[in-house]
Structure formats: structure tokens, C-alpha cells
Chains A and B, each alone.
Chain A
Amino acid sequence: MNKFFVITWLLFSVCFSSMSLASDYEAEGPHIQVRLLAEHSGLKPGSVQTLAIEMRPDPEWHTYWLNPGDSGEPPAIQWQSSEAITFGDILWPVPAPIPVAHLVNYGYSNAHLLMVPITVPNTLTVGEVVTLTADLTWLVCKEDCIPGSAQLRLSLPVTAELAKSVHADLFEQARKDLPHEVTLQGTLEINRDNIAISFNAPSGYAASPERWTVLPFRGDVIDHAAPQSQVSSEGKISLAIPKSDYFPSKLNQARFLVKQGNKGFYLDVSQANVDESNVENSSRHSSLTLSQLLLLAAMAFVGGLILNIMPCVLPVISIKAMALNQEASSRIQQIAYLVGVLLCFNLFALTVIVLQQSGEQLGWGFHMQSPSVIILLAFLFTFIALILWDVFTVGTTMSDIGETLVTGHSAKSHFFTGLLAVVVASPCTAPFMASALGVAMVSDTLTTLVIFNALAVGFALPMTLLFMSSNIRGWLPKPGAWMQTFKHLLAFPMLATVAWLCWVYAGQQGNQAQFILLVCLVVFAMCGYLLAQLKTLGKIVCGCVMLACVLAPISLYSSTNIDKLAPTSAQAFDPDLLQRLRSKNDIVLVNMTADWCITCKVNEQVALTTQQVKLALDAENVHYMVGDWTNRNQQILEYLQQYDRAGVPLYVVYAGSNKGRVLPQILTPGLVVDALTTAKQELNNVN
């Protein structure tokens, strides 16, 4: 009897203790159940394992993501353990936007796991039992919210091998609900009223027509409840979203979660350039890595060396070499020539930089991506090839002056020799300087300086070595007819460059445009040839034809550009025309856009090029005017300033001479059509 009692008591206590353990790892609050689960039934020393808090809100109730949206609060976990276990951050499953009246929250309306990776130290001994405690607080809401908290405890034995627990399947499932491991990279654009983000669709999603939803990590970036305009073209997704009321004054990068259905990706976006108006420069001043810079410098250095064996340079150097005294010259005398050359090249580089910078302010920024720059470079290199072939005869007087100048032995004479060598040798150096100029125009200041200095050092090196040691003289090749051949051969690398440029151009503008460019290049070369043969009048005609050849493809490019931008009957922005149309009591929609403005592109695709808007714009007395701010221009700047804007997009609808109505920065077809209809009514009321 006594024995029976003891056994019963033991059994009872075992049951009781296991029950108390069971109730320890789970808890219940109003409208929610929570559990602390482990993927494995034990802890293995030195391993990384996963724990999870299971949140199971009642139907229609929800808990929150790390950014709760307009209201609410994410769950928080404070971990403790009897051993030195390291707890990682919560791995949040992909959340969903949950609308509440006109506000939006981000969270989970069904059971989900908040998984947490833990690192088990090596020092644990098998057989030991470790207690893990999670102090959990949460907020569970339907429309009303109820905060809750629980202390959840789990005891796990330390085991040599890992065995799956009964909950392992839940973990397996939960991993499928996590955002993808690959973090996407994108660009961020900040406008007055909205932000626009742009990213390449992850592989497998490029063709999907389904829309993306953007959820921000920070609570102060976007208006959570606002509709998100989206366009995708060739796998690039762009979204324009109204800014949060709490948008920070400085924001260069931000993290988002972008989701399509249940699939989510983290997306890091950064501003291409902090100043919106400089966005165009960023594509041009593509920062070079050190190795790229060194390669460019090496190429320029070799170019400088080659300059020395040009027909109008080598004879000069040779004469100098012959005339040099055997007696040692001072160090100053030795480097004076180098200093002279460096000074001259740097002066030239500075001129280029100043021109480039002031040109930027004038709005004619060059960027390599721009087809018009590609065209200009193609003509430039063709022109250089023509010079190398001696198609244009350049007077030899300059090199004669050079020969007289280089005689003399003082440091001063060497210095001026260096300074002037560049200038006097210009018939031969010009092609190189022109190439360097071309590169400098599309590079940043540092690259320009590096290139010019490497070129200068290469150019000055043989002479400087000569000054230092006359033994070098023996190394110099003898001047002769081969120099001409070499010069002529150099034209081919130039033409190869032209071929490459034409290929780039075809990629941008298509085969037909490339054909036109090629024809223009051929005509240009032919006229160049004729120019040298003909008399005064013929020369003028040829010169004009050559100019026309350069301008034709450029103007063709810009007109196709407008077509691409505005498939409706759009007119280019012109303040005078706008004034005339308004005084005629017509309706005008002005669209200020730029190629680099993501929001503008989104609006053009989502709203302005839709059938609905096109019909409204094609109506009688309605005009559509497009200002292209891609390359800044004074007229557009003045117009933007009228509306206190520093950048695009800007949309204004005018009803005759009435004050224009500024449309929001994010357009919908309905909004544009309504604005045009209202303008029409306004006019009818007046008449």
C-alpha cells in the first residue's frame, strides 16, 4: 500500500513536472498564443542552431513587422540563458500591408515563426541541461490593440549530435516565408513630394507582370498608405511613392523589403548623387578604380613616348642629342626640360578642366552615355586619322622655329625648349593631344590630370635621359622615312576607335542610325581630302559640308529622342509659344522631365502615355509641351523657379491665361484627365 502510494506520487510528480515544463514554453494572451520552440531537441557545442517564437494571433488579429507602419509596435524579445549562448537578431518573415481605415500597418495576420539564430559555445559538456528564457512583449491588434507579455522557458540537454525536434517541420516551413537571401541593390531619387526607387528585377521575376509592393525599414521614408506607382521595362522596376510627413532632411540610403505575392527581397537603395541636379554628372564621372587609373596612365605614358618618334619631334631631339656637350650639366639643367613639358601639359589640362567645368554650368555636360558625345568622338577620331595620313598639310615653319629654339645649353633654354617643344611639335602632337582631350572631356578632374601628366612624362623622358647621360644617344632611332610610315600606321588604331564608337552608337540608336552616321563619316573624310586639293571657294564648300556631316546625326538623334519621350503630339518647351497658346485661350499641359528622373519616367508610362490621357491631349485646343531638363538649360530653369522648384518633375496645366495649376508629382491617368477637364470647364465658364 505504502509502496503503491510512493509510486503513484512519483508518477504524479513526473506528470506534474512535465506539465509545468509544457506550460512554461507556451503562453496565451487575449487573442494570441505564443510558444518558444527549438528546431533541434538538444544543443550541440560549437553549432549555430535556430530557436523561434511562434506567434499565433486569432483570426482577423495581427502582430507587427520590424516597422509597424502608421501605428503599432513590433514584438520584442529579451533573451537569457544559464550558459553563455549568443542570440542573434529576429529573422522576420515577409510581412503584408494591413490597411486600417485610411492608414496602413505592416505585420502578420496568421501564425508565423520569429526565428532567432543562436550560437552554442564549445565549452558546454554533453549531458548538461541549459535553460533558455525569452521575455517577450507584443501588441496584438484587430482594430483595437492589446499589449501582452510572457516569459517563455525552454530546457534543452547538451547532446553530441543534433536530432530534429517535433517542431522541425515548422522551421522548415518558416524558412520558405523568409525574404530571399540575395539583397538587391537599387537607386534612390528624392523629389519634393515623393521618392522613386529603381532596381533590377531578381532573376526569374523580370517577366512577371505582377506588381511589387515596397515596405520601408524606416518609419519616416514613405507615406505607408499611399498608392505606389510602378513601371517595369526590360527587367528594371521603378516605383514612385509619396514621401512620409516625417521625411528626414538628409537621407542618402535606405533599406526596403520589396515583395511580390509571398516572395520578398531586401533592397538597399542609395542616392546616385546627393544633389538631384547633378545626377547627370554621376553617369559621366564614373569613378575609376586605382588599377583602371594606372592603366590609363600607362597608356598615356606610352603615348608620350611614341610622340618622340613623330616626324616633327624626332629630328629635333636628334639635333639636340648631337649638339649636347660631353661635359656634365647641372641637375637643374637636366630637369629643366621635363619641368617645361610638365608645365605646358598641365596648363593645357587646366584649360580643359576649366572649360569642362564652365561648360557644365552652361548646361553642355558631356557624358559618355549620350549619343551626341559618341557622335562627336567618332568625328574627332576620324579627323585625327586624316591628320595622321597627312590629308591636311600643316606648315613646317613651326618645327623650324623649334629647331632654332632647342639649341643652347642653359637651364633656361632647356626649360623653354620643354615648354615650347609641345607647341612647336604641334603638327604631330595634335592628334595625341586631341585624343587626350577627348578622354579628358568625359573624365573627372583627377583622371584628366593623371592622363596629361603621364603623357608629359612619357614625352619628356627620352630628352631628359639624354641630358642626364649622353650614352642614351646611341639608343635613339635614326630619323628617316620610316617615321612617316609609322605615323600613317598610327591612323589605324584611331579608325579602330571609330569602329568601336559606331558599334556603341548602334547599340544606343539602332542599325539605321548607325548607317547614317557611317555615311556622314565617309562624306566627312572625303570632304577633308578634297579640302586640301581645292582652291578657296572649294575649301569653304568642303568645310561647310564637313560641318553639316557632324551636325546631321546629332540633330537626328535629338529629334528621335523627343519622339521617344512623348509619343503624343508633344511640342518642345518654349516659353514664347506657351505664352502665345495661353493668350489664344488654349489648354496647355507642361511636362518638365529629364532622362535621369525616375519619377518622370514612371509618370510618363503610368499616366501620360496611356490611351485615356492621349485622347484628352489630342482634343482640340489642347497642347502638350515637354521640357527636357536632362541637360540643364536656362529657359527651363527660369520656368522651374517660377514654381519654386529646383528640379523635375513638374506638371502644370494652364487654362488659357488663368494661373497654371500644378499637378502632384505622382500622376495617375484619371488625375491628368480630370485636370484637363477642369481646365476646359474653367474656360467655358469665362466665355
Chain B
Amino acid sequence: MEWSALGPQLLDATGQTLYMVSVTLVLAGLIGLAVGMGLYVTRRGSILENGPLFTALNLLVNFVRPIPFIILLAALGQVTESVVGTRLGPNAAIFTMTIGATFAVARIVEQNLMTVDPGVIEAARSMGVSRWKIITTVILPEALGPLVLGYTFLVIGITDMSAMAGAIGAGGLGDFALRLGYQRFNDQVTWAAVIVIIILVQLVQFFGNWLARRIMRR
């Protein structure tokens, strides 16, 4: 195998991984934020306390989260096909990745929001601020630093998912490493993919830490 032929393939694979990870991050990031906020505001003693809704959301999250991603890919094949039109390729992978990641995002959002000092929320209530405004102008800004770190952590998890999605022909670095490296007993090719992933993750972590530090002024 020639590196002159592999080079462009590695570049393509990197592009596909970046595409899958960033689209998933945006979709799961937003839906997960909503679900996580839902968990946070409906729990006992919170500002929109709602026992049945909390229980339903909590069950849903606990139901999906423990499913290993590779199994989720297979199990959702039918659903993916009817929604995306195909079981294969990056867009099919993005669909399943979004579902898997949404619930992880939800938990991380919930946990980070719970670190917000209840006294600060009480102060906002004492000013006559509406509950929706308390969520958007108090709780989210107060939890922003830890949220950025949580999302950074998730990028790594989503990258991990995208590698597994290589198994269903989604392309990307996982596919590159498996098909051109592992299956051909070429460790160098596998390691090339590993190094690119390490660099991507480092960059994301670096940026996330920098951003969180700026927000938290530390």
C-alpha cells in the first residue's frame, strides 16, 4: 500500500469524521440540552417540579444510555432506514449517533445545572423574574463554564461513536483504520488514524478548556 494513495484517503476520512462529529454535536447538543433542562427543572424541589414528567424523562434516558453504541446502530437499522432512507453512510450514522449522544448530553447538562447555587435562583425569584427567564438568564449563564467542559468531554465520546459507525460503512477515520489497517494487517495505517484522532481530540480539549477558563475567569 502506497502512502501517496493512502494520504488523500486519510484526508477524506478525517473530513468525514469531522462532518459526522460536528453535525451530531450540534443536533445532540441542542436536543440533549432541552432534555437535560427538562430533567433539571422538573425534578423535585426545582422551579417547574413535575413528578410524572421527570420520571418519564428519567426512564427514557436510563433506557437508552446503557445500550452499547454498536448494538444501538444495529438495533435502530430499520428506524434509520425509514427516516434517512438508508442504513449506510455518514447521514445514517449521524441519525443513530444523535440519538445515542442526546441522552449522554442530557445527563451531563442535568448534572452541570444542578451545580448552580439554589440561592441565586431564589434571588431571581425574589425579583419577580419569570421561570423561563430564570432558566435562560440565570441558570444557563451560571452553569456555562462547567457546561462547556461537559460538551468538550462529549466531543470525545461522539468521536468514539463515529469510529464505530465506520462498521456500518459510514466512512471516517474508524472505517479507514478498520478496513485499510486492521483487515489488511497493516498496523501503520491503523496508527495513522489513531494519531489523527488524538490530534483532533487534543485540539477540541484545548479549545474547550480555554473557553471554559475564560467563562469561569480562572
Q: Do A and B come from one complex?
A: no
User: B residues near A, CB below 8 A?
Assistant: none
User: A residues near B, CB below 8 A?
Assistant: none
